[in-house]
Amino acid sequence: MRPTFVETNVLITVMTYPHPSQRHQELVCTAGITEAGEWVRLYPIDYRYRPNHQHFKKYQWIRLGLAPRGFGNDDRKESRQPDLESIQILGEPLSTENSWAQRRDIIDRLPHHTKIHLESLYAADRTSLGVVSPSEILDLTIEAAERDWKPEWQAVLDQFNLFHGQPKALAKLPYKFSYVFRCSDTGDRPHSAMIEDWELGVLFLKEKERLGSEEAAAKSVKKKYFDEICAAGYERRSKNRPRSAARAGLRGGVKVDHRRRLVSRGVA
């Protein structure tokens, strides 16, 4: 049965690097904030296979129909199944002028948490999106990842799809990038949060082409996301996923002042 969709305006704040999907061809994990100041997770979205007039950007308002719950068995509090055909873009992305004031104004009004507190909310009522305020960002680590897609995902990329047509090329990133940070209630062991932001993936691929070296490209990503972004005082977003309460996936970013809050999408 087709769900009942409610027309909703959403400010897109999170878009992850694309991932193959056997059911949907490809997925971009997407989240945002409604006009009522509520987090919503939009799933599934096959972003690169949407028509050009539906290619929204981060910090851009869109209007679309949302079901009252997530797709399939996704029972996370903020998950909503989107009506993909209804996506409309509403104007240009919010300005970055005046130290990104338009963007910060929306983020600053959201509740802020420590990572441990956000995990406790997930355990209590499946709250899976939120803002995490670190007291210190210690490092950005680089870890080797599998160089190739799993066979079942590579098959998706190799096979013509009746609904999506010829699959689009999708490079597998050979590294995992993670922030290491502390919050006010962190114990002896700091938190680690993997960054899966689409912009990070694009930066790595561009730097690899420019420098001719994966290792040099990874170091360039660290320079941008740690040496420059953290030093300037940026916010980060991370996301809760139901399969583990041990690590967070940090995604996206908004420039802020000296407070340097991490905007976290919770437990990955």
27-41, 65-79, 156-170, 176-190: least confident range: 156-170
Question: CB under 8 Å to 59, separation ≥6 — which residues?
Answer: 11, 12, 13, 93, 94, 103, 254
DSSP state of 225: I
Local confidence band at 230 (pLDDT 50, 70, 90 cut-offs): confident
CA angle at 134 for the pair 255 and 70, rounded to the nearest 5°: 80
Local confidence band at 247 (pLDDT 50, 70, 90 cut-offs): very low
Q: Quick check: 258 pLDDT over 60?
A: no
Instruction: In whole angstroms, give the CA distance from residue 167 to residue 157.
Output: 6
Cis peptide preceding 44, ω within 30 of 0: yes
Mean local confidence (pLDDT), 33-47: 96
Mean local confidence (pLDDT), 104-108: 90
Give counts: helices (H), strands (E), the chain: 6, 15
pLDDT (0 to 100) of residue 160: 81
Q: What amino acid occupies position 1?
A: M
Local confidence band at 147 (pLDDT 50, 70, 90 cut-offs): very high
Terminal Cα distance for the chain, rounded: 30
Mean local confidence (pLDDT), 18-33: 94
Q: What is the pTM of this model?
A: 0.85
Structure tokens at 106: 């929306």
Q: Using a pLDDT cut of 90, give the percent of the chain over it.
A: 70
pLDDT (0 to 100) of residue 260: 38
CA angle at 127 for the pair 21 and 198, rounded to the nearest 5°: 40
The more confidently predicted of residues 193 and 176 is 176
Averaged confidence pLDDT in the chain? 85
pLDDT (0 to 100) of residue 78: 96
pLDDT (0 to 100) of residue 233: 56
Q: Quick check: 220 pLDDT over 70?
A: yes
The more confidently predicted of residues 262 and 118 is 118
Q: Quick check: 251 pLDDT over 60?
A: no
Q: Using a pLDDT cut of 70, give the percent of the chain over it.
A: 85
Q: What amino acid occupies position 106?
A: I
Question: Domain 6-90 classified CATH 3.40.50.300?
Answer: no
pLDDT (0 to 100) of residue 99: 80
Q: Where in the chain are the domains?
A: 6-90, 97-255
Mean local confidence (pLDDT), 18-43: 95
The more confidently predicted of residues 228 and 38 is 38
pLDDT (0 to 100) of residue 223: 95
**C-beta separation of 15 from 252 below 8 A:** yes
Q: Where are the beta strands (DSSP E) in 91-241?
A: 112-113, 131-132, 136-144, 175-182, 191-195, 234-239
Mean local confidence (pLDDT), 125-140: 90
